[in-house]
């Protein structure tokens, strides 16, 4: 299952993996609070994110 996390200028994706989630990209630093609110809406806690996949090195993908 893939969950979309919509932030101000970009999206991140959470993919369900064994015992947690893979986070695809991280968004801008300024979206940190929004990111936490969005994962909470999906009933996901930060410790459940086990892996991070960064698609490229732009600042909206590597915070």
Per residue in 9-63, pLDDT (tens digit) is 889 999 999 999 999 998 888 999 999 999 999 999 999 999 999 887 766 555 5
- Give how many domains the chain has, as a whole number: 1
Give the model's pLDDT for residue 6.
94
12 belongs to a structural domain: yes
User: Is 4 exposed, middle or buried (CB count within 10 Å of its CB: 0-12, 13-18, 19+)?
Assistant: exposed
> Which residue range forms the structural domain that includes residue 8?
2-53
59 belongs to a structural domain: no
Give the model's pLDDT for residue 55.
85
The pTM is what?
0.85
Strand arrangement, sheet containing 11-17: 2-6, 11-17, 20-24, 49-53
């Amino acid at each position: 299952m893939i969950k979309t996390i919509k932030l101000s200028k970009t999206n991140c994706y959470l993919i369900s993996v064994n015992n947690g989630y893979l986070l695809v990209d991280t968004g801008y630093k300024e979206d940190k609070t929004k990111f936490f609110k969005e994962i909470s809406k999906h009933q996901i806690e930060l410790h459940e994110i086990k892996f991070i996949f960064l698609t490229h090195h732009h600042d909206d993908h590597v915070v």
